[in-house]
């Protein structure tokens, strides 16, 4: 069912870890494969991180297989799902209702939704699911519907628009927070200055990069940074004790998703650049 399971980690585990081990623990790659729904599982907030790339025929979100008591039940029996299309136009069908999603458009799928179908050749659906305690309203969110924050400047190479898609003031959810950030041409730094949020884990998916572009993603405790070199359409897991920030070889887009103790975007501990080591 899950391509890979990512375990929760202790910050001490950052010591002496090789680049390969770092990638193995936090980098989520190969989730957009033509004609497949690829799902990975993280013990951090029990996030499911995945991709659906339909070809000529539709793809279905799989049903649960384990444990025996849940086998055959919908994956969203006790979960909610956020979907963002990062490719060409496509359609998501929720229990028979078709919802068109163009690039950068997203959909909040409530707990209890039984059948989720993905269609549209060229569409690339990014999937994020976390446990939920109740069903909220199904909602499509475009960038125009989002709460938008302008941050940074071209002079400091970090001019970007932060779009809040799923947060209490834009779309109700049980635990999922979801948004997208678009960097302006010439700007390459995100989340500058960086922060940690003890009460939530976060997943970043970088996209809109060329094949030979790279993202230098920084993680770890603020006084012990490490980096992971990332490619287009790869995601990275940020444990609650870790910063998450990067620079790229050009401007790019990224989707951020959080879950945990609360839905308060402002519940973050912003770090001074001079504190970083």
Residue 172 contacts residue 150 (beta carbons within 8 Å): no
Which residues within the stretch 180-199 sit at the binding site for ligand D54 (CB under 6 A)?
A: 181, 190-191
43 is in an annotated binding site: no
Q: Give the strand pairing for 243-248 and 125-131.
A: unpaired
**Interacting partner of 199 out of ligand D54, Zn ion, none (Cβ under 5 to 8 A depending on kind):** none
d(CA 122, CA 140): 20
40 binds ligand D54 (CB under 6 A): no
**Closer CB to ligand D54, 113 or 244, in the complex:** 244
Residue from 16, 8, 49 nearest 257 by CA: 49
**Interacting partner of 162 out of Zn ion, ligand D54, none (Cβ under 5 to 8 A depending on kind):** ligand D54
Per-residue x/- marks for ligand D54, 222-251, CB under 6 A?
Answer: ----------------------x-------
**Closer CB to ligand D54, 94 or 257, in the complex:** 257
**Closer CB to ligand D54, 1 or 149, in the complex:** 149
**Closer CB to ligand D54, 36 or 267, in the complex:** 267
217 binds ligand D54 (CB under 6 A): no
**Closer CB to ligand D54, 90 or 194, in the complex:** 194
**Interacting partner of 181 out of ligand D54, Zn ion, none (Cβ under 5 to 8 A depending on kind):** ligand D54
60 binds ligand D54 (CB under 6 A): no
Q: What is the DSSP string of the chain?
A: --S-EEPP--GGGGTT--HHHHHHHHEE-----BTEEEEEEESGGG-EEEEEE--SS-EEPPPP--STTTTTS-GGGGEEEEEEE-SS-EEEEETTEEEEE-TT-EEEE-TT---EEEE-TT--EEEEEEE-SS----EEE-TTTSEEEEE--TTTT--EEEEEEESTTTS--SS-EEEEEEEPTT--EESSS-EE-TTEEEEEEEES--TT--EEEEEE-TTS-EEEEE-TTEEEEE-TT-EEEEEESS--EEEEEEEES---TT--EEPPGGG--
Q: Residue 46, exposed/middle/buried by CB under 10 A (0-12, 13-18, 19+)?
A: middle
Binder of ligand D54 out of 82, 87, 179, 240 (CB under 6 A): 179
**Interacting partner of 160 out of ligand D54, Zn ion, none (Cβ under 5 to 8 A depending on kind):** ligand D54
**Closer CB to ligand D54, 123 or 146, in the complex:** 146
Q: How far is the CB of 151 from ligand D54 (least distance, A)?
A: 6
Which residues within the stretch 116-175 sit at the binding site for ligand D54 (CB under 6 A)?
A: 151, 160, 162
**Interacting partner of 179 out of ligand D54, Zn ion, none (Cβ under 5 to 8 A depending on kind):** ligand D54
**Interacting partner of 25 out of ligand D54, Zn ion, none (Cβ under 5 to 8 A depending on kind):** none
Interacting residues with ligand D54 (CB under 6 A)? 151, 160, 162, 179, 181, 190-191, 202, 244, 256, 258, 268
Per the annotation, binding residues are 195, 197, 202, 244
């Amino acid at each position: 069912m899950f391509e890979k399971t990512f375990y929760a980690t202790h910050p001490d585990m950052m010591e002496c870890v090789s680049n390969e081990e770092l990638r193995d623990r936090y980098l989520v790659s190969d989730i957009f494969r033509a004609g497949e729904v690829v799902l990975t599982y993280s013990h951090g907030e029990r996030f499911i991180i995945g991709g659906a790339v339909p070809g000529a025929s539709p793809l279905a979100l799989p049903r649960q297989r384990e444990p025996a008591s849940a086998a055959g039940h919908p994956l969203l029996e006790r979960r909610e799902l956020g979907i963002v299309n990062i490719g060409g136009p496509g359609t998501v069908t929720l229990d028979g209702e078709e919802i068109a999603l163009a690039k950068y458009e997203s959909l909040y799928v409530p707990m209890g939704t039984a059948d989720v179908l993905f269609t549209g050749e060229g569409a690339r659906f990014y999937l994020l699911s976390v446990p939920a305690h109740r069903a909220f309203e199904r909602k499509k969110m475009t960038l125009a519907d989002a709460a938008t924050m302008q941050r940074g400047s071209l002079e400091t190479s970090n001019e970007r628009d932060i779009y809040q898609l799923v947060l209490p003031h834009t779309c109700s959810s049980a635990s999922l927070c979801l948004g997208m950030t678009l960097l302006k041409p010439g700007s390459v730094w995100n989340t500058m200055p960086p922060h940690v949020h003890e009460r939530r884990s976060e997943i970043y998916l970088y996209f809109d990069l060329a094949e030979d572009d790279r993202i230098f993603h920084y993680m770890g405790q603020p006084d012990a940074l490490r980096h992971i070199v990332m490619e287009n359409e790869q995601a990275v897991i940020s444990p609650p004790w870790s910063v998450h920030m990067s620079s790229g070889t050009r401007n790019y887009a990224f989707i951020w998703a959080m879950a945990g103790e609360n839905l308060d975007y402002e519940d973050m501990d912003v770090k001074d650049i001079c504190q970083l080591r």
